[in-house]
């Protein structure tokens, strides 16, 4: 809450929000690790404990952690290491930490809305809707999305302290972008704040501090782009042109708006089709919403209204996930975590202003009553739906089921079809499904198909062996085309050459990987010995 209302009210609001959130998410507080949870909190060694060696590896912009996780997010990994040191295998602790942090974020959002001049009842209602929105279930119930929750706390905390404690605000912003780089767009939100609020002699230094924020973002951008490149995202099929990009941005923006205001259209592992024509309904809706929002934003900026800040916030949240620059999964419920505050804030300030402008006091009072009543009913429905959506993230099987339900022709559905065919012994059908899945998400299946025991029955069939050779050649082509020379990629590319029987090249790459260093140098020596044994003809080995 704002300072003048006292920390006691802020604490009371936090306790209320935390209690509601714990009720909504009570069904998953003991759910096991799902998906990436195991990567961050079980599989990797660099979050196992907060040792000097692990901290150095995590902070290294080009170390194995940034390549394995496909992001340069050292604060996120340090938080994971801290949680592992505190909770160990006690799974409930991780879930409760996420829920409590989410409640704190809802309080922070409410406080920022109050500072923007929103009526108290409206700001509290917006905070409640943010707290209980069903799209938040992915960020809250999925343990590894601690990064989303923490990045929000750091980033929006920086916005709140921009005038009071600019140095602390800059530190919080740095922590935010080192937790999840997409929050770098909050520079735009801060600039909008600086524009709409009157500048005193003391506050004129704000723009200098914002220049510092920009420099922080640029400094982190280099390692982040390298991690993005090493993820193999450059292997994704390029867009055909500016027109297709615009249609895609409009379509995805419309889908997020529908998710935000209705709580529908949610899914695990979104894979919406790209709009193929300008008359696509989602595309048309996106352009319509964009035009209305743009006009409202320009008007608010011209008036230097606080409403402009929240519309900029919505645009800033959408920008990095709009698919103007493509990545593997074009949408995610969790991405709405940074878009939703802007949409809620802008709507609350616009609606409050419209009600206040009503000439008749009795009509304005009636409109307030109707708006608050409708908002409370919506919040109740959101809370029930959030509890349902949270259960999706209680197991890998439920995540897969949800993805297949909403995208029956998506990568997950096709991969499960391949597993079903493999267990029937139908290698041709399994490989056909794998090829279709690989065409949708290049490189994303290389590791699963090579290690998944559910495909064991067809592993020695000619069809499957031919498919493995195809993806091995594709991985080699990507590594060469994108010049991926990090030791992690050198090792994996060496494995691809081994799959093709080119053991000399495999050994050469492994030697390069060993020279590059990394924590698996000794293991690399063992792999080299194994590859050398393979290249010796059978009679000579005897």
Task: Find out if CATH 1.25.40 is the number for domain 402-541.
Answer: yes
| Mean pLDDT, residues 336-365 taken together | 91
pLDDT tens-digit profile of 15-48? 999 999 999 999 999 999 998 898 888 888 888 8
Pick the more confident residue, 110 or 500. Answer: 110
Assign 129 a pLDDT band (cuts: 50, 70, 90). Answer: very high
Query: How many whole angstroms separate alpha carbon 455 and alpha carbon 214?
Result: 48
Q: How far is CA 299 from CA 295, 303, 305, in A?
A: 6, 6, 9
**Quick check: 430 and 436 in contact, CB under 8 A?**
no
| Mean pLDDT, residues 186-207 taken together | 79
The token pair at 300 is 């608010």
**Cβ-proximal residues to 450 (8 Å cutoff; 6+ apart), any chain:** 468
| Mean pLDDT, residues 58-70 taken together | 83
Q: What is the pLDDT, as a whole number, of residue 459? A: 81
Q: What is the pLDDT, as a whole number, of residue 541? A: 35
pLDDT tens-digit profile of 81-99? 999 999 988 999 999 999 9
The token pair at 75 is 């604060």
Q: What is the pLDDT, as a whole number, of residue 28? A: 93
Pick the more confident residue, 34 or 495. Answer: 34
Assign 259 a pLDDT band (cuts: 50, 70, 90). Answer: very high
Q: What is the pLDDT, as a whole number, of residue 236? A: 53
pLDDT at 231 over 70: no
Query: How many whole angstroms separate alpha carbon 417 and alpha carbon 413?
Result: 6
| Helix runs in 500-520, H state only | 503-516
Assign 201 a pLDDT band (cuts: 50, 70, 90). Answer: very low
| Mean pLDDT, residues 162-191 taken together | 94
Q: What are phi and psi of 117, to 5 degrees?
A: 95, 10
pLDDT tens-digit profile of 469-481? 888 887 788 777 7
pLDDT at 284 over 50: yes
Q: How far apart are the first and last CA of the chain?
A: 78
| Mean pLDDT, residues 394-412 taken together | 92
User: In 3-state terms, what secondary structure has residue 304?
Assistant: coil
Q: In the chain, what percentage of residues exceed pLDDT 70?
A: 87
pLDDT at 234 over 60: no
User: Nearest Cα to 491, choosing from 524, 531, 449, 533?
Assistant: 524
pLDDT at 144 over 70: yes
Residue 404 parent element (H or E): helix 396-406
Q: Where in the chain is the domain with CATH 1.25.40?
A: 402-541
| Mean pLDDT, residues 339-355 taken together | 94
| Mean pLDDT, residues 355-384 taken together | 89
| Mean pLDDT, residues 172-201 taken together | 89
| Mean pLDDT, residues 38-60 taken together | 87
Exposure string over 120-134, b if 16+ CB within 10 A, otherwise e: eebbbbbbbbbbbbb
Q: How far is CA 124 from CA 17, 112, 258, 311, 386, in A?
A: 10, 11, 22, 19, 19
Q: What is the pLDDT, as a whole number, of residue 542? A: 33
Query: How many whole angstroms separate alpha carbon 416 and alpha carbon 155?
Result: 39
Q: pTM for the complete prediction?
A: 0.87
Q: What is the pLDDT, as a whole number, of residue 532? A: 57
Residue entry with tokens 């307030």: 368
Could you give the dihedral angle defined by the CA atoms of residues 54, 60, 62 and 67, in that order, rounded to the nearest 10 degrees? 40
Q: What is the pLDDT, as a whole number, of residue 500? A: 77
| Mean pLDDT, residues 358-374 taken together | 87
pLDDT at 485 over 90: no
User: In 3-state terms, what secondary structure has residue 301?
Assistant: helix
Q: What is the pLDDT, as a whole number, of residue 426? A: 92
Least confident of 110-124, 324-338, 423-437: 324-338
Mean pLDDT of the chain: 86
> What one-character-per-residue DSSP string does 78-130 give?
HHHHHHHHHHTT-HHHHHHHHHHHHHHHHHHHHHHHHHTT--HHHHHHHHHHH
pLDDT at 461 over 70: yes
The token pair at 213 is 């924020």
| Mean pLDDT, residues 168-180 taken together | 96
Tally Cβ neighbours within 10 Å of residue 10: 17
| Mean pLDDT, residues 492-515 taken together | 77
Assign 537 a pLDDT band (cuts: 50, 70, 90). Answer: very low
| Mean pLDDT, residues 416-425 taken together | 91
């Amino acid at each position: 809450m704002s300072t003048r209302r006292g920390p006691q009210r802020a604490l009371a609001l936090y306790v209320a929000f935390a209690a509601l959130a714990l009720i909504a998410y009570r069904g998953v507080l003991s759910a096991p690790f799902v998906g990436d949870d195991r990567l961050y909190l079980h599989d990797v060694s660099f979050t196992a404990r907060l040792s000097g060696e692990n901290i150095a590896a995590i902070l290294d912009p080009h170390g194995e952690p940034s390549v394995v996780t496909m992001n340069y997010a050292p604060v996120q990994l340090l938080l994971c290491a801290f949680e592992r040191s505190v909770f160990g295998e006690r799974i409930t602790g991780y879930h409760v930490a996420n829920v409590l942090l989410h409640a704190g974020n809802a309080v922070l959002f409410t406080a920022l809305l109050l500072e923007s001049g929103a009526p108290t009842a409206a700001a509290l209602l917006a905070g409640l809707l943010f707290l209980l929105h069903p799209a938040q279930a992915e960020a809250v119930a999925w343990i590894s999305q601690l990064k989303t929750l923490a990045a929000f706390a750091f980033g929006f905390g920086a916005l709140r302290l921009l005038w009071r404690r600019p140095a602390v605000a800059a530190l919080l912003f740095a922590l935010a972008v080192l937790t999840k780089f997409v929050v770098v767009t909050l520079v735009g939100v801060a600039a909008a704040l600086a524009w709409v609020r009157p500048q005193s002699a003391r506050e004129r230094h704000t723009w200098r501090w914002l220049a510092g924020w920009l420099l922080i973002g640029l400094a982190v951008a280099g390692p982040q782009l390298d991690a993005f490149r090493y993820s193999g995202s450059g292997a994704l099929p390029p867009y055909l042109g500016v027109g297709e990009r615009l249609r895609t941005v409009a379509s995805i923006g419309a889908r997020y708006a529908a998710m935000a205001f209705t709580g529908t259209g949610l899914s695990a592992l979104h894979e919406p089709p790209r709009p193929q024509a300008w008359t696509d309904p989602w595309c048309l809706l996106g352009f319509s919403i964009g035009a209305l929002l743009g006009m409202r934003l320009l008007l608010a900026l011209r008036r230097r209204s606080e409403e402009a800040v929240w519309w900029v916030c919505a645009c800033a949240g959408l920008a990095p996930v709009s698919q103007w620059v493509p990545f593997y999964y074009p949408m995610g419920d969790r991405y709405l975590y940074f878009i939703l505050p802007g949409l809620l804030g802008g709507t609350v300030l616009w609606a409050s202003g419209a009600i206040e402008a009503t000439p008749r006091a009795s009509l304005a009072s009636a409109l307030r009553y109707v708006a608050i009543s409708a908002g409370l009913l919506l919040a109740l429905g959101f809370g029930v739906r959030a509890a349902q959506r949270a259960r999706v993230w209680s197991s890998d099987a439920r995540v897969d089921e949800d993805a297949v339900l909403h995208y029956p022709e998506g990568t997950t559905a096709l991969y499960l079809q391949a597993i079903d065919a493999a267990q029937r012994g139908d290698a041709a059908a399994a490989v056909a499904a794998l090829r279709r899945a690989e065409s949708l998400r290049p490189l994303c299946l290389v590791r699963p198909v090579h290690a998944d025991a559910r495909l064991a029955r067809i592993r020695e069939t000619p069809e499957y062996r031919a498919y493995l050779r195809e993806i091995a050649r594709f991985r080699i082509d990507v590594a060469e085309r994108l010049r991926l020379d990090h030791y992690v990629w050198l090792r994996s590319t060496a494995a691809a050459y081994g799959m093709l029987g080119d053991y000399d090249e495999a050994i050469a790459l492994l030697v390069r990987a060993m020279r590059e260093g990394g924590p698996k140098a000794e293991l690399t020596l063992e792999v080299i010995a194994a590859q050398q044994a393979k290249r010796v003809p059978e009679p000579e080995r005897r």
